[in-house]
Amino acid sequence: MPLRALVFLLASLSFACLLGTFYGFWTMQAFGCLILPPATALLAWIAWRDFRASPGAQHSSRTWIVEGAIAGLIAAFAYDLYRLPFVLQGAPLFRVFPRFGELLLGNTEPRWLVHALGWTYHFSNGAALGVMLLAMLPRLTPRMLLGGAIAWAAGVEVLLLLTPYPRFFGLPLDARFIFLTASAHAVFGITLGLWLRWRLGRLQVA
């Protein structure tokens, strides 16, 4: 249990970086430079140590971290792919990514670096959600993986809408925006759950 809590906490720091900025606790630049790199390195060390101690273990911190991060990245890609047609029609759903980059860099130039940092941070949040999900679930059954992933994605969406997130980035909190962001998070949750069901099922029979 303490290890689960530690893994969950370390992964959640990706979101803490942004949420603390909303409320003036710290800047994304300071948090992103001083807190996130050692937290990420510690997660990697925990996974490596666990693999060294029991390389054949399937329900372990290595599974939560490695498989969770991969699943989260894939789900984030599906999330963005779903939103892309709406973005091409003018929806401001990708507007936040360069702002992430500006806040992390502490500058608006160079634009290539701003965009690179912003998109990297976005995908780090996707990976973090996958890790946090597996660290939370008491059992990695197919039903719990899919149902838990969908509920987790929906819960994160509700929590984000309750923060200053929309106002901070100038997003219109109207019915269309809520539908698009809620449906995109549903896509994220379904993709996350289906991938984990498939991937962890393969690990169990390997």
Residue extents of the structural domains in the chain: 2-52+59-205
What was the pLDDT predicted at 51?
A: 76
Q: How confident is the model at residue 66 (pLDDT cuts 50, 70, 90)?
A: very high
Share of the chain above pLDDT 90, in %: 87
What was the pLDDT predicted at 57?
A: 53
Average pLDDT of the segment spanning 12-29: 97
Mean pLDDT over each residue of the chain, to the nearest integer = 93
The pLDDT tens digits for 101-125 are 999 999 999 999 999 999 999 999 9
What was the pLDDT predicted at 53?
A: 60
Q: Token pair for residue 41? A: 């390195």
Q: How confident is the model at residue 192 (pLDDT cuts 50, 70, 90)?
A: very high
Q: How confident is the model at residue 162 (pLDDT cuts 50, 70, 90)?
A: very high
The pLDDT tens digits for 73-101 are 999 999 999 999 999 999 999 999 999 99
